[in-house]
Structure 1
C-alpha cells in the first residue's frame, strides 16, 4: 500500500529469496520515497516483519496502535497535513510511483531492476556508488583503516540508503563552539558550510548536497589518533542505527589539526535530557514526559534488535530536539555509543569478572557493580534511573556520595526513594514500571520491547482520558521537590568515569568500610561532576518556605508500597489505579490549594498534626 508494489516484486521467488528472508532480508522502500512514508507506518510495517514471531504485534496491538485516539494515528494525521502543505508550497513537487512492469534506464545504462532510478530528479543508486568510487583517490583521512570504513559505507548503497558516511575537511566547519567535556572527549557545535554529498544528479552531472549551512555536533575523541579501532567501533555502532529517528545520526568524520584527534560529525540537538529537565522541569507536562520516554525506549529497541548493548545510558546521553516549544517523541535520541558493544561479545567474556567498569554509579546495574557482564537488561536498569529523573527533576542518589558504600547498598537492593511529598504526584503505574526496571534480578526487568509497550499503553490511556475530559493535562501544580532544589552531594558524579567493582575490591572491602583504607571510588580533586539539578531560584521566598516545610515532614512521610506487577496492560490493576489517581479529589490536591491561599497557616496545621501523631504513638510505646 505504501509503494504500490508487492514485496520483492523485482526478484525471482526462488530458494535464494527464501534463504534471504530467513536471514532477515526485508523489502526496502525506494530511496526517493522514504521521505513520503510516515515513520509511524514504517515502524509498524517493520515490526510485523520481525524475524522473531514473539516480537510481532498481536492483532489487538494493531488495533490499539491505530486507534483514532492513539498517538500513532495523530502522528499520521499530522504527517498528512504537513504533506498537503508542502504540496501547496511547491507546485513542482511530485512523487513518481514506480510502475509494476516499466523498466527505467539512467543515461549511463543502469536499469531500474533491483536499483532505484528517478529520471526527474536525476537519482540512481548505482550512479551514486560509481561516483563515490571515482573520488576515492582525491581525499584521505590520513589513516588507511578510516578510509576503508568510509569507502565501505559509501559503496554499500543497498543498506545505507539515507546518506553515506563521508570524510569532511576540517576547514568546512565554521563558528565552532565548545558544548561539553565528557569522559572520552569533548563535544562542539559548528556550522557545516558546504554541506555533505547527498546524491549524484545524472541530469546535471553534479552532486546534490544536504546539510548546507546546518549546525552539526563535533565529537572529538581523546587520543583517537592512537586508538583507531575504538574510534571506529563507535562510528560503526552509529551507522548500524543511522536510519532510525531515536539514535543520533552520524554523517561524517573529520580531524582536528591542532590535536590530530579524529572527530565524529553528528546531527546537533538542542540539549541533553539532563539540561532540558534542569531548564524546563517546572513547566513540563506529564504527557510530554511520557513522549520523551517513548522516544528513548524506541531507540533502545533499535539497538537491542541489532544485538547492541549501550552500557552507558543516562540523562546526559539522551539528546532533546525542540519542536516549536513542544516536545515530540522524535525529539529524544540516544547518543554516545562509545561503550556500545555486541551482547554476544560481552557474554563470551563474562567468564572472567571485571575489576573495573566505566559509567556513573547510579545508572550501573548491581550485577555489573559486582563485576559481571553488562547485558541488554543492564540498559533497562539504566532506563529506570532516567524515569526517576523525568518524574522528580533529580538524578538518582543526588544526595549521596557515589562511593563504594553506595555500590554495596545498590547491590543489597537499595534504590533511590521518591520523597513523600512527591509520591502522590506520580502515577502508581509509572512508579511500578520504574521499580520493575530497577529489579535486582535482571530476568525480572522488562525487555526494550516490553518497555515500549508499557509506555505506549500508558500514553494511550492518558490520551483517552484526556479526550473524555477526565484528565487535567495542565502543568503539575505542586513542585515542592523541584522548588526545594536541594544541592547535590559533593561526592556525587554523573560524568562517566572508571569505577572499581566489588569483585575488584574483594580483598580490601572491610578496610574500606572501617576507614583503614581509602575508598578508590571517591572522586579525585580534578574529576568533573555535573552540578546539582535546580529549576527554581533558591533564594526566593517560596523556595525557603518549601524547604522548611519539607524538612519538617520529611522524616514522617512514609513511602507507599510498590506492588510487584506481572502485566502492564491498560486493563491491569495498575492502569486502574492510574485512572483513580487522575480522577480523585484527594487530600493532597486540597492541601495544594491551601498552600496557595495561605502557606503559613498550612505549616501551622502540619506542625499541629505531627505533634498529635507523635503524642498518640507515644501512648503505645
Structure 2
C-alpha cells in the first residue's frame, strides 16, 4: 500500500498544466539537494516551480565538483571554468532525467556578496551582461557563486563575440598593438556580421608546415588548423577548414597595422597574424587567391613553385621529359632546343622576337 501511495505521488499532475510538466520533475528532486542556505534553496525552488513550459528558465543547484579547469581571469576579475553537464534542455522520459546541451561549456563564476539579499544581486546580473544557470559553492572558501554565461548585448545571446572574448586570456602576440587589433575585430563579429567580416585570430607559427620562402617578405605554407568557419555548440569549439595553403606576408608598420591589413584585405582574405620565431617578424596570414580571378587559378600554382627553380644562361639540345604544358602533358619526351638569353633585363622583347621566328616556343 505504501508503495502504491508513493507511486501515485510521483505520477501526480501539475494543477496548472493538468499533466506532468517540468515543475513536477523538479519538485520530485527537491529532497536530493540543498545549498545549505534556506534563502538560496527557496529562490532556486521558486524558479523551478514556475518553469512549466520552459525548463531553461529554471535555476539549479550545481555542485562545485561539476566544474573543471577553473581559472581566475586577471583582466576580467572573474573565474572561468568548464561545466561538465551543461544546460538543462528537456525531460528524458526513457532515462528519467534531464537532457542537456552545451556539455563542457565555458561559464563564469561570480561570488555572491550577501546570500541573504542575493535575489536583488541576481536580478541585477541578469539585467546586464549575463545569463544565469544556477548557484554553486566553493568548498574551500565557502563562498556562494553565481554560475553565469556571458551574453552579447547586441545579439542577446552567445554569439561569436562571446566565444572570442572568453579566449582572450589564453593567447597573446607579445605586442599590444597586435593584441588590440585582433581583439577589436573579434569583438565586432556578432551573429549577424560573422559572414560579412573576417574571422581573424592569433596563429602560433608552429601551426604551419612545408614553409617555402618565395620572395623577400613573402612565404607560402600549409596551415594545420585552417581558417575559422563557425562555432560548434556540440563540441564547444570552432569548426575549421583544415590543412589550407596560405601566404605569409611581413607587417612593416605595427603601429599602423589597421591600415596595412585593410589594404591587404582588398586583395586577399586575411585569416590572422603570426610571428616568425627566429626573425621575430610579425606576418599576416592570407589566402592565396588570385587578385584577378578571385580564386586559386593557374597563376597561383605557378607562383607557389617559384622557389623551387632558377634560370641558367646557356645553349643546349635536350629531351624534355615532361613535354609541353597541357592538361595531360601530351608532349612527353619532346626534343627541344635550349638557347641562352643575351639580355635577361629585356627578356620580354627577346622572347617575343624568338616566338615570331619559331612559333613552337614552349
TM-score with structure 2 length normalisation?
0.40
Determine which structure has greater relative contact order: mean sequence separation of CA pairs < 8 Å that are 6+ residues apart, divided by chain length: 1
Q: If each structure's helix is expressed as a fraction of its own residues, which one has the higher value?
A: 1
Structure richer in strand, relative to its length: 2
Q: Which has the larger radius of gyration?
A: 2
Taking structure 1 as the reference length, what is the TM-score of the superposition?
0.26
